[in-house]
Structure 1
Amino acid sequence: MNVLAAGGLKESTLAMLLLDIGVVLLAGAALGRLAQRLRQPAVVGEIAAGILLGPSILGLLPGNLTERLFPAEVRPLLSAVAQVGLILFMFVVGWEFEKRLIRPHAGLAAGVSLSSIATAFGLGVALAPFLYPDHATVAGKEISFIAFATFLGTAMSVTAFPVLARILTENRLLETRVGTLSLASAAIDDLLAWCLLAYVSALVTSGGDYTDLAWIGLLSVGFVALMFLVVKPLVARLVWRWAAAERWPALVAVLCAGALGSAVLTTWIGIHAIFGAFLFGFVMPREPARVLAEHLRKPMDNVSVVLLPVFFIVTGLGVNLGALSGKDYVALALIVTVACAGKLIGAIVPARIAGLSWRESRDLGLLMNTRGLTELIILNAAVSLGVLDERMFTMLVIMALVTTAMAGPLLSRRSAAETPKTSQASKTPPQTPQVSESAADFITPRT
């Protein structure tokens, strides 16, 4: 009791925090499992669990249960736990970004990715003037139209790589041309999405002052150079030496500290913390692959299993369907329509030009339209930057949920019919083992 008081944390607050984390883990596991039974990624169920525990469902019942279960003094602590989990997850995402996945389809993957991003981004920016007047003020502070429009375009442009990999596995599409092409395109898409988010972060942080924006840009370039020229060789030497000596606990601790330190540095620069964690993971060595997967990635995945559901629940707690008016539901319909149109058109057109069939092109468009966890990360970053109000955040989370949930059911009818033909046509193993091995490496992160 005295120790807790000296640390500034009441024993009752700590007890409530521990209770909330327990509730979060149980709710996330239960609804995540239910989602998988319905042929959906676990992230769909975990987001739904957050919405269920939030003001949209539980909060409507008598007794103000959401506020009693998640009191105001505990929510910042939950958010802090969620952010730690998110930073470490972004480190793993950067680490698992595999260039070998892109090489076999580099030209077409780049075309599909750039086209889908450009189309979705352009449609998002075009939609912004209709939404901005009702969402121009956040917490009493007016946000610039440029920041709002740029962020909305970025939110429309996202494809969630981990969720996409899980959908491909469950629909037996991982070894198909559409599967490998969509993974390569999504890998490029994710990388560009983080760059766009870094730009939006710098834009908001600078307050529209081009001198500050230029300074943030200069510091960001210096940070990237530091990571590649200094940190990358140092980390490579450290990993090889400590792996040879089997100093795994110390290595995991140092790498986690490095990810957190990089996140702090990018926050100081003026871009979001997740960019620093991602880049630190990106410069990590990939070899020796099997040893690192066994002794480093598995512990990191276990951390994600515990901490990421907290992130999903905290996100769901910010969703308030009751705050939406009739006009907002019209806006929500427009947002979902524009989001789907941007990705579908942007992916289908280059795929058809490259010679893919209509069916393959449609599948590719549906897969590129999957947003999932990546979208939630960007939305939470926008909230922390003060770009989104509660209503817009709610609408965009629902959009992410809808676009993620729609891919599996629409793909399953086609893949079930096509996959047996592929297996009958060739009894030999796939001829692209390098791509499939790399793709399989991405399946382990939480989706």
Structure 2
Amino acid sequence: MITHLVGAAALVLVAAHAAGWLARRLGQPYIVGQLSAGIALGPSLLGALAPDAYASLFPEEIGPALTGFAQFALVVFLFAVGYELDLKILGDRARTSLTVALASFVVPMAAGCAGALVFREQLHGLGMPRDLSPAMVVFAGVALSITAVPVLTAIVRENGLSGSVPGVVAVSAAGVLDAVCWTVLAAALMDSGGAEAVLDWPWRVALAVGFVTVMVLAARPVLRRLLWRTRMEPALRLALLIGFALGSAWVTHSLGLHVIFGALLAGVVVPREEGGTLDPDLLRPLHDVSSLLLPFFFVVSGQSVALNGMDGTGWTVLLVVTVLAVTTKIGSGTLAARLGGLDRHDARTVGVLLSARGLTELIALDAGLQAGLLSTPLYTVLVFMALATTLLTQPLLLLTRRPAGPDRPAPPARATVPVAPPAQGGTTTEPGSDVG
């Protein structure tokens, strides 16, 4: 097993990062290449084209180890996302950003829930029950509502929009939007019960509220004293904080939720440096670790993608879902931005940026699959929807953006998107730059 695990790990790391590099060379986010590599190394492609090689590279015995690597990477990545979350970026555009966030959540959410009810027969053909539970319907809405903040931040930066009004509005709105989506997703998972939940949902809700209260009121002051009043070595501090995130993830998973919620909560309660700044000595290794190990998550996600199970119904549902996902996001975001005072070009830019799903969508889909809210064929459809919407973001942005000119007023100096500090070698290692 050790031999197979080491060989599979070498292949996963090299193939995923090489594919990510190639995707970036083609003008696409890193995640597109990594997700494509994960699907290619799965049973649908490698397993179909070379079954003996696939069975030798990925025997069932190493499945738990690969899943463990994937879950560890998710915890570290989302811990960093929670730590970086700062709604102070809203600034003078708070009302516009909140309006955009609300509209880009409500419209896709309604479309997703309505689509699940209207097309229940088609979904039944994809392995879903004929009578969908409320949690399944809500999850369908969440799947269309999510925007990936990391990949959005990367696209904003790489297109020179970091200091622009549409860039700031899109990133800040996406931050608020994802906070709402995670909350609704947590409620759906609570209602579904999860595979390991042993308590009824009222007890789980009460325990979850109590845990959040303890984390905010007790853990945060303790961490502030520990981090600010001691001269702890960076390596020891990193180890303690990752252990804290893993412990928080263990608690939320025990409550019938997913590890992602505990990791996010742990990152949110960790205090920043005095003055509200991020600690670069903490962020850099977090990004390095998550960037290195997230390919295991893409491969584990690719193991559940069943291309051979995609029939005419599957491709039709994929087309409908992708069209809904793109049009509802772009339409609601653009209209809300226009109502917030942006001109039509900037408003379209905001709408297009919000249509990117990326890694955040895959994390939510993985949680839904584990909780039994998705069948494997529908999971496959939604994974390809996430890939398609991410691929379409850059071309659509080039079509809708207005080139900057000397007659355009300079954006306010404070309207900037925070970017993680550069890593050694001069390359950025924020989540969006490497993993999307």
For 1:354 and 1:297, the matched residues in 2 are separated by: 34
For 1:264 and 1:285, the matched residues in 2 are separated by: 21
Range that drifts further, 313-322 or 198-207? 198-207
> Is the contact made by 1:165 and 1:443 (CA closer than 8 Å) also made in structure 2?
no
AA aligned to 2:256 is G
**2:255 aligned partner:** 269
AA aligned to 2:35 is I
Deviation at 1:355, TM superposition (A): 2.6
For 2:211 and 2:125, the matched residues in 1 are separated by: 32
Is it true that 1:373 corresponds to 2:359 in the alignment?
yes
AA aligned to 1:84 is F
For 2:429 and 2:395, the matched residues in 1 are separated by: 20
> Is the contact made by 1:162 and 1:443 (CA closer than 8 Å) also made in structure 2?
no
Range that drifts further, 158-167 or 46-55? 46-55
Unaligned ranges ≥5, structure 1: 1-12
Range that drifts further, 307-316 or 158-167? 307-316
Deviation per residue, 1:423-443 (Å, 9 max, x gap): x865xxx6333x426355697
Deviation per residue, 1:7-61 (Å, 9 max, x gap): xxxxxx1111111111111111111011101111101100000111123322231
Q: Residues 137 and 321 (structure 1 numbering): CA distance in 2 closer, same or farther, change over 3 Å?
A: closer
Deviation per residue, 1:75-134 (Å, 9 max, x gap): 221111100110111111100001221233211111111111110000000111244445
Is it true that 1:436 corresponds to 2:416 in the alignment?
yes
> Is the contact made by 2:84 and 2:278 (CA closer than 8 Å) also made in structure 1?
no
Is it true that 1:200 corresponds to 2:188 in the alignment?
yes
- SS where residue 250 of structure 2 aligns? helix
AA aligned to 1:181 is V
> Is the contact made by 2:194 and 2:372 (CA closer than 8 Å) also made in structure 1?
no
Give the TM-score normalised by structure 1: 0.89
> Is the contact made by 1:137 and 1:143 (CA closer than 8 Å) also made in structure 2?
no
Q: Residues 437 and 293 (structure 1 numbering): CA distance in 2 closer, same or farther, change over 3 Å?
A: farther
Percent identity reads 35
For 1:38 and 1:436, the matched residues in 2 are separated by: 27
Deviation per residue, 1:224-259 (Å, 9 max, x gap): 1111110111111111123xx142121111111110
Indicate which of 296, 308, 312 corresponds to 2:298: 312
AA aligned to 1:29 is H
For 2:242 and 2:41, the matched residues in 1 are separated by: 31
Q: Residues 237 and 143 (structure 1 numbering): CA distance in 2 closer, same or farther, change over 3 Å?
A: farther
Indicate which of 92, 95, 98 corresponds to 1:104: 92
- SS where residue 223 of structure 1 aligns? helix
Is it true that 1:182 corresponds to 2:174 in the alignment?
no
For 1:57 and 1:303, the matched residues in 2 are separated by: 28
**1:354 aligned partner:** 340
AA aligned to 1:390 is T
For 2:388 and 2:51, the matched residues in 1 are separated by: 30
For 1:92 and 1:334, the matched residues in 2 are separated by: 34
Is it true that 1:92 corresponds to 2:73 in the alignment?
no
> Is the contact made by 1:370 and 1:403 (CA closer than 8 Å) also made in structure 2?
yes
For 1:16 and 1:138, the matched residues in 2 are separated by: 33
Deviation at 1:264, TM superposition (A): 0.9
Deviation at 1:174, TM superposition (A): 1.2
**1:405 aligned partner:** 391
Pairing 1:26-105 to 2, within 5 Å after superposition = 26-105=14-93
For 1:131 and 1:140, the matched residues in 2 are separated by: 11
Range that drifts further, 73-82 or 435-444? 435-444
**1:10 aligned partner:** none
Indicate which of 108, 120, 136 corresponds to 2:108: 120
For 1:252 and 1:373, the matched residues in 2 are separated by: 24
> Which consecutive segments of 4 or more residues in structure 1 shift more than 6 A?
137-143
Is it true that 1:158 corresponds to 2:146 in the alignment?
yes
Deviation at 1:135, TM superposition (A): 4.9
For 1:432 and 1:230, the matched residues in 2 are separated by: 37
AA aligned to 1:224 is V
Unaligned ranges ≥5, structure 2: 422-427
Deviation per residue, 1:163-220 (Å, 9 max, x gap): 000001111111111000001100101111111111111011179x9x9222222222
Q: Residues 136 and 260 (structure 1 numbering): CA distance in 2 closer, same or farther, change over 3 Å?
A: farther
- RMSD value, Cα: 2.5
> Is the contact made by 2:78 and 2:260 (CA closer than 8 Å) also made in structure 1?
yes
AA aligned to 1:419 is A
> Is the contact made by 1:206 and 1:212 (CA closer than 8 Å) also made in structure 2?
no
For 2:386 and 2:285, the matched residues in 1 are separated by: 28
Is it true that 1:418 corresponds to 2:418 in the alignment?
no
- SS where residue 193 of structure 2 aligns? helix
Deviation at 1:141, TM superposition (A): 8.8
Is it true that 1:335 corresponds to 2:315 in the alignment?
no
> Is the contact made by 2:128 and 2:375 (CA closer than 8 Å) also made in structure 1?
no
> Is the contact made by 1:206 and 1:213 (CA closer than 8 Å) also made in structure 2?
no
For 2:241 and 2:418, the matched residues in 1 are separated by: 22
- SS where residue 28 of structure 2 aligns? coil
**2:424 aligned partner:** none
Pairing 1:175-254 to 2, within 5 Å after superposition = 175-205=163-193, 212-242=200-230, 245-254=231-240
Q: Residues 276 and 69 (structure 1 numbering): CA distance in 2 closer, same or farther, change over 3 Å?
A: same
AA aligned to 2:403 is E
> Is the contact made by 1:95 and 1:282 (CA closer than 8 Å) also made in structure 2?
yes
Q: Residues 161 and 437 (structure 1 numbering): CA distance in 2 closer, same or farther, change over 3 Å?
A: closer
